[in-house]
C-alpha cells in the first residue's frame, strides 16, 4: 500500500489573538486570502485576528472564518514547501478547510458558510445555553454510568470521540456540572470544562442543523480531488451531496475523530501534518498511533523561513 500524507485541520479552540505570526513570512497569496476574507465578510477580520480584542475573536461567528482563513493560509504555505495531502480531514469546523483544500468548495464560499454557521450557533445560545467538558482517562463504561446518573437533570451526551483516552461531553448546564463533580468524586478520570457557551454537536443543536440545511441546499459542491474523511461516520466520503448532508448532521451528532484517524491509517496514512495553529490534533493522533510521523505545520513553516 502506498504511503500517504494527511492534512489535519483543527476546530474552535485553536484560535488566539496575533496568530498570523504563526505563518511566518507570508506570501502575497496568503495576504490575499485575508484581504478576501475582509471583503467577503464586510468587516476587518484581519485586524481582529492581529489585534483582538480576544472576546470578539472568540465569538463563534468570528472564530470560524478566522480559523478557516488561517488554515487555508497554512495549507498554501505547505504547498509552497512541496507538501501535498493524499487525505484531508478536519475536526468539526476544520472540515470546511479540509473541503477547500480538497477542491469541494472554494475559499469564498466556505467563508460565507462558516460565518453563517457561526451566526446560527450564536443565536442558538440565547434559547439553548449549554456547556461542554473534556474528559480524560475515563473508562467508557464507568463514564456511561455517570451520564445515566446525570440524565435526569437534562440532556448530556458524548459528542467528541477524540482518542482512546479523551472524549468530550456536551449538553445542558446542570447535567454537565453534575457530571464534572461526579467524575472527580468517583475518580473516574479528569474533567475539564471548556470555554464555550454552546453545546456543540449535541442533539440540542438540531434546530441549528435544520436552518443550516436550508442554507446549504442551493450551494454547489464538487467531488473531492483527494481522499476526504468525514466527522459523522469517520469514513471516506466522495459524493458531493452526501458531504453536504454530513455537514448538516455534524452540527447535532458526535465527532468521530478516533474512527477517522483509524480509517486514514487503514488507507496507508504514515505522515500527519496539523494544518493550522497549534498541535491539538497531533496530540490526539499520538494517543492513537504514536509510531507515525506527526508534524506541526507551524514548525515546518518556521523551519523554512529561518
Statement: residue 98 has pLDDT above 90: yes
Statement: residue 1 has pLDDT above 80: no
Query: Of 118, 39, 27, which Cα lies nearest the Cα of 75?
Result: 27
- Residue 227 host element (H or E): strand 227-228
User: What is the per-residue pLDDT across 264-304, written as a single tens digit (0 to 9) for each?
Assistant: 999 999 999 999 999 999 999 999 999 899 999 999 998 86
The pLDDT of residue 172 is 95
Are 144 and 249 part of one and the same domain? no
Give the CATH number of the domain where residue 236 resides: 3.40.366.10
pTM attached to this predicted model: 0.95
Report the share of the chain in percent with pLDDT over 70.
99
Query: Of 179, 152, 153, which Cα lies nearest the Cα of 168?
Result: 179
Q: Domain for residue 269, yes or no?
A: yes
Q: Domain for residue 198, yes or no?
A: no
Q: Which of 193, 213, 236 is the last residue of a domain?
A: 193
Q: Domain residues for 67? A: 4-126+203-305
The pLDDT of residue 245 is 97
d(CA 21, CA 124): 33
Catalogue the active-site residues: 92, 201
Are 117 and 56 part of one and the same domain? yes
Give the CATH number of the domain where residue 146 resides: 3.30.70.250
Cα–Cα distance list, 197 to 46, 68, 151, 247 (Å): 24, 21, 19, 21
Are 122 and 134 part of one and the same domain? no
Mean pLDDT, residues 212-241: 97
Mean pLDDT, residues 39-53: 97
d(CA 212, CA 283): 31
Question: For the packed helices 94-101 and 60-80, what is the interaxial angle rounded to 10 degrees?
Answer: 40
Cell numbers 507551524 correspond to what residue?
Answer: 298
User: What is the per-residue pLDDT across 236-256, written as a single tens digit (0 to 9) for each?
Assistant: 999 999 999 999 999 999 999
Q: How far is CA 176 from the centre of its chain?
A: 21
Are 41 and 19 part of one and the same domain? yes
The pLDDT of residue 304 is 60
Q: Which of 193, 220, 237 is the last residue of a domain?
A: 193
Statement: residue 23 has pLDDT above 80: yes
Statement: residue 263 has pLDDT above 60: yes
Statement: residue 305 has pLDDT above 90: no
Are 227 and 89 part of one and the same domain? yes
Are 18 and 103 part of one and the same domain? yes
Q: Which of 168, 193, 218 is the last residue of a domain?
A: 193
Are 26 and 119 part of one and the same domain? yes
Mean pLDDT, residues 214-233: 96
Statement: residue 136 has pLDDT above 70: yes
Are 119 and 219 part of one and the same domain? yes
Averaged pLDDT score across all residues of the chain: 95
Q: Domain for residue 137, yes or no?
A: yes
Torsion of CA 200, 202, 203, 208, to 10 degrees: 10
Cell of 295: 508534524
Are 287 and 212 part of one and the same domain? yes
Statement: residue 306 has pLDDT above 70: no
Burial of 28 (0-12, 13-18, 19+ CB in 10 A): exposed
* Total number of domains constituting the chain: 2
Amino acid at each position: 500500500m502506498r504511503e500517504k500524507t494527511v492534512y489535519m485541520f483543527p476546530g474552535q479552540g485553536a484560535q488566539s489573538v496575533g496568530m498570523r505570526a504563526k505563518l511566518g513570512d507570508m506570501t502575497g497569496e496568503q495576504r490575499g486570502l485575508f484581504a478576501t476574507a475582509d471583503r467577503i465578510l464586510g468587516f476587518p477580520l484581519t485586524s481582529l485576528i492581529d489585534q483582538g480584542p480576544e472576546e470578539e475573536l472568540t465569538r463563534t461567528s468570528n472564530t470560524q472564518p478566522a480559523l478557516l482563513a488561517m488554515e487555508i493560509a497554512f495549507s498554501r504555505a505547505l504547498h509552497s514547501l512541496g507538501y501535498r495531502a493524499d487525505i484531508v480531514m478536519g475536526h468539526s469546523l476544520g472540515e470546511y478547510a479540509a473541503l477547500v483544500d480538497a477542491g469541494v468548495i472554494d475559499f469564498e464560499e466556505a467563508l460565507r458558510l462558516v460565518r453563517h454557521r457561526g451566526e446560527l450557533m450564536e443565536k442558538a445560545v440565547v434559547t439553548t445555553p449549554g456547556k461542554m467538558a473534556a474528559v480524560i482517562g475515563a473508562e467508557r463504561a464507568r463514564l456511561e454510568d455517570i451520564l445515566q446518573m446525570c440524565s435526569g437533570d437534562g440532556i448530556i451526551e458524548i459528542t467528541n470521540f477524540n482518542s482512546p483516552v479523551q472524549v468530550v461531553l456536551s449538553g445542558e448546564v446542570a447535567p454537565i456540572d453534575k457530571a464534572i463533580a461526579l467524575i472527580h468524586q468517583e475518580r473516574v478520570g479528569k474533567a475539564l470544562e471548556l470555554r464555550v457557551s454552546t453545546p456543540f454537536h449535541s442533539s440540542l443543536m438540531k434546530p441549528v442543523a435544520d436552518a443550516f440545511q436550508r442554507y446549504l441546499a442551493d450551494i454547489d459542491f464538487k467531488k473531492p480531488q483527494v481522499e476526504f474523511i468525514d466527522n459523522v461516520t469517520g469514513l471516506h466520503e466522495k459524493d458531493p451531496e452526501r458531504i453536504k448532508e454530513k455537514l448538516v448532521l455534524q452540527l447535532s451528532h458526535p465527532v468521530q475523530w478516533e474512527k477517522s484517524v483509524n480509517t486514514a491509517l487503514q488507507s496507508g496514512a504514515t505522515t500527519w501534518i496539523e494544518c493550522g495553529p497549534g498541535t491539538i490534533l497531533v496530540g490526539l493522533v499520538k494517543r492513537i498511533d504514536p509510531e507515525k510521523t506527526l508534524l506541526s505545520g507551524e514548525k515546518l513553516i518556521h523551519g523554512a523561513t529561518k
